[in-house]
């Protein structure tokens, strides 16, 4: 809506698509190249689109403000809005072809998120209040898309100062019971 601040519009859109409030959301970049709309017009998109693109607002200069939001996808079923025919979760390795420079926007968001891992409690909205070191390691491996050495990971993540070790341990595990942690906001 024209009267909204960018942040309010992003929160509203996120609420409409997820049904959730109070989600971690951070602006990560402004995409403003004057030729963004000519970058890549996907023929398959055009064929399936009901939008008449020859007179569309997409052929005028536009600016996109990118936000990342962290949502537990197992708890949310995304809903399409009036701009979208569909809205669904996709694995990063199975992202469908996107129109214009949206693949660049996604890559930029992922690069930004990966960069925040070392100094910001990125998993705050994705993990329970108390979690074990294997829990947070699995989250980081998912975001980074690679296996991490357990000892090095534990040393590095505890060295960031974003975690607080609790005296409580996880019960009912086969090996030595791991300690619980929580984010130190």
- Each residue's pLDDT tens digit, 73-123: 888 889 988 877 888 888 888 888 887 888 899 999 999 999 888 777 788
Residue 99 neighbours by CB under 8 Å, 6+ apart: 40, 41, 42, 45
In the chain, residues under CATH classification 1.10.10.10 are 127-183
**Taking the model in full, what pTM does it have?**
0.76
**pLDDT for the residue 173:** 67
Give the CATH number of domain 127-183; options: 1.20.120.1080, 1.20.120.530, 1.10.10.10, 2.30.30.100: 1.10.10.10
**pLDDT for the residue 184:** 83
C-alpha dist (Å) from residue 61 to 7, 105, 139: 21, 17, 38
Residue 7 above 90 pLDDT? yes
Average pLDDT over residues 4-15: 92
The winner for highest mean pLDDT among 35-49, 60-74, 128-142 is 128-142
N-to-C CA span, the chain: 33
* Tens digit of each residue's pLDDT (9 = 90 or more) over 129-178: 899 999 999 999 989 999 999 999 999 998 888 899 999 888 866 677 88
């Amino acid at each position: 809506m024209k009267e909204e601040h960018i942040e309010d519009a992003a929160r509203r859109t996120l609420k409409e698509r997820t049904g959730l409030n109070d989600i971690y959301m951070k602006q990560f970049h402004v995409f403003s190249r004057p030729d963004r709309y000519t970058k890549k017009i996907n023929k398959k998109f055009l064929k399936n689109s009901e939008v008449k693109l020859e007179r569309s607002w997409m052929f005028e200069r536009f600016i996109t403000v990118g936000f990342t939001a962290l949502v537990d996808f197992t708890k949310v079923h995304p809903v399409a809005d009036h701009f979208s025919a569909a809205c669904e979760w996709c694995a990063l390795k199975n992202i469908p072809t996107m129109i214009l420079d949206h693949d660049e926007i996604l890559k930029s968001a992922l690069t930004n998120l990966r960069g925040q891992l070392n100094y910001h409690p990125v998993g705050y909205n994705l993990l329970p209040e108390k979690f074990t070191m294997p829990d947070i390691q699995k989250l980081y491996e998912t975001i980074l898309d690679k296996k991490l050495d357990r000892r090095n990971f534990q040393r590095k993540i505890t060295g960031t100062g974003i975690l607080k070790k609790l005296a409580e341990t996880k019960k009912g595990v086969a090996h030595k019971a791991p300690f619980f942690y929580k984010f130190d906001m």
